[in-house]
Structure 1
Amino acid sequence: MAESLRSFFDELESPERHLVLLNRSSPDPVRKLLDSLLDGQPVSISETADPASDDDVVALVENGSIVARSTLDELLESVLLINSDLYKTGAIGLDEVALPAVLEGLDEVPFQVRGYPASNKEKLLLIIVSRVIERIAAEHGEGTLRASFQRLSRIDDERGTRSVYERVAGTGVDVHVYGVGDVESLSTLPITVHTGTSYPYRCSWFVVFTPPDGTDGDHVALLALEDEPNVWDAFWTFRPDLVTRIERYIAERI
């Protein structure tokens, strides 16, 4: 059994990865948007010309080989031109949430992200990954979803978030939410609410989905810890054994 949520960071198996922008024809401001998303992260971005590729394609390179590609338009439409308020208000529906392949491929990369006003973009990536996990859970319609909010009131304060959890729980997924605060306003939701004031309730942000035991399906987890105000150490993973152990730790220890 892991000693803490923090100890899962020691198990990351991320090889060196970087992004390459192929045949850029987009203007400099677009490149700056991409840079701002990964500013300060262990993922560099370079440019090169490739006669065999289309213009404005972003490639994810691992150990010298391209392992994923996304168009720059995909990144613009799903991340770079998006404001987090669109998720909070529900303007972006759960079925519309998408994570481009080159960002999905950054699983188990240890990120450190800042929230607003220090950064307009860094935390957005974690918000999108969270929504993708919630979408996966809704699509399965079974299994277990565990999510922490720090403040439980956020579920009511953010119309889009409450709508998502109404939908996911309504599909038959066993939904558990964690946080500090009053649980009464959530009594109408078909979810299990866990409340407390210890470190995991105050300082963690996790969204973890596991399918039913013995069935094939997606295992996916986001784990982020706020050890200083508005700064998050985070990663996401699709590795079934790691996801399962994170889920078990939360279920048994939090």
Structure 2
Amino acid sequence: MVADGGLSGIEDFFQEASGHDVSLVTIDRTEPRPVQDLLAKAFSMQTVDLIERSLPRDDDDVVALRKNGRVTAVSSLRELMQSFLLVNAERFKTGTKGFDDGVPAVLRGMDETLFDLRGYPASNREKLLLVLVSRHIERLAYEAGTGTLRSTFQQLSRLEDELGTKKLYERLAGRTVDVHVYGVPDEVPRGLDAAVHTSTSDEYRNSWCVVFSPSDGPGAALIASQQEPNRWRGFWTYDPETVGRVDRYLERSF
């Protein structure tokens, strides 16, 4: 673990990813083969194994998350399809999908796993994983109603141009959450009850962080960095110590 004072940038936190042996197991699939192919394609570039099994159980079309040989989360394949495999990421920008929709447990539970994710057109699905986890953390902040939420946007114009994102942060600002947004000041958001932090540094341009530090209860942090245009490396965590360190880094260094 790198001490707070020894951090040189967001990517130093990647050392916190623990390197679990992670796999997704599709159990008793009755959905057509293309659904399994979509799931395999979404994780084809990752250190996540895809396995199919037939087991004597009551429910068909179940997906289990297995970490280091132990099942840690279970979701229905239908839930995974509706929230991830068959979703157009543009819905998050236009406002037709927000944090009122839950994120399947098997996706939330992939914390501490370091991902290398591509956006469109290289992939229709990979980068969406970061969007879903961002929404999950924002939802934690909204439901808690207190605490501090820090989000980096690369370009602050996204808070004006993406209607869905703007609506979501207006809702968050309506709570008693201390909201901080960070980005290049290409267009400073208007009428948003949040602390706005601006810079044109490379780290502002290339960081994707959503960090909720609660007053009480569970928090979470997504830490990602753009390696090249539309290719992101990062992970998320629920570990209180790491969440606190990321929160402090953004507060002091951004």
Q: Is the 8 A contact 2:24 2:50 kept in 1?
A: yes
Mind listing any 5+ residue stretches in structure 2 that lack a counterpart? none
Work out the CA distance in 2 between the residues paired with 1:78 and 1:134. Answer: 16
The offset of 1:182, in angstroms, is 3.9
Deviations 1:116-162 (A, max 9, x none): 00000001111111111111111111111100111100110000100
Which residue does 1:191 correspond to in 2?
194
Deviation at 1:55, TM superposition (A): 1.4
Displacement of 1:15: 1.8
Please give the secondary structure, in 2, of the residue aligned with 1:175.
Answer: strand
What fraction of aligned residue pairs are identical, expressed as a percent? 50
Aligned to 1:104: 108
Give the equivalent residue in structure 2 for 1:86.
91
Query: Do the aligned partners of 2:148 and 2:212 also contact (CA within 8 Å) in 1?
Result: yes
Matched, 1:243 2:247: no
Kindly indicate whether the alpha-carbon contact (under 8 Å) linking 2:98 and 2:135 is maintained by their aligned counterparts in 1. Answer: no
Instruction: Please state if 1:40 is matched with 2:45.
Output: yes
Instruction: Give the Cα separation in 2 of the matches to 1:130 and 1:166.
Output: 16
Q: Secondary structure at the match of 1:122?
A: coil
Q: Tell whether 2:14 aligns with 1:6.
A: no
- Offset, 1:110: 0.4
What is the deviation of 1:3?
A: 2.7
Q: Which residue of 2 aligns with 1:54?
A: 59
Shift of 1:183: 5.0
Distance 2:67 2:227 in 1: 30
Shift of 1:95: 1.5
- Whole-angstrom distance in 1 between the partners of 2:213 and 2:81: 30
The RMSD of aligned alpha carbons is: 1.2
Q: Which runs of 5+ in 1 are unaligned?
A: none
Question: Which AA in structure 1 matches 2:237?
Answer: T
Deviation at 1:193, TM superposition (A): 0.6
1:210 is matched with which residue: 195, 213, 216? Answer: 213
Which whole-Å CA distance do the structure 1 matches of 2:146 and 2:115 have between them? 30
TM-score between the two structures when normalised by the length of structure 2: 0.94
State the SS of the aligned residue for 1:116. coil
Letter matched to residue 208 of structure 1: V
1:30 is the counterpart of 2:3: no
TM-score, normalising length: structure 1: 0.94
Shift of residue 53, structure 1, vs aligned partner: 5.2
Aligned length: 249
Superposed displacement of residue 198, structure 1: 1.0
Deviations 1:222-246 (A, max 9, x none): 1110121111001111111001100
CA distance in 2 between partners of 1:187 and 1:34 (Å):
39
For residues 59-102 of structure 1, give each alpha carbon's deviation from its aligned partner in whole angstroms, at most 9, with x where no partner exists: 11122221111110010111111111111111014322x11111
CA distances 1:23-74 after superposition (whole Å, capped 9, x unpaired): 1221111111111221210001011111135211111112222111111001
Counterpart-to-counterpart distance in 2, 1:191 and 1:61: 39
Runs (4 or more) in structure 1 with deviation over 6 Å come to none
For the 8 Å contact 2:16–2:112, the answer to whether it is kept is no
Q: Secondary structure at the match of 1:244?
A: helix
Bigger shift: 223-232 or 47-56? 47-56
Q: Which residue number corresponds to residue 162 of structure 2?
A: 158
Tell me what 2:179 maps to: 175
Query: How far is 1:197 from its partner?
Result: 1.1
Aligned amino acid, residue 201 of structure 2: S
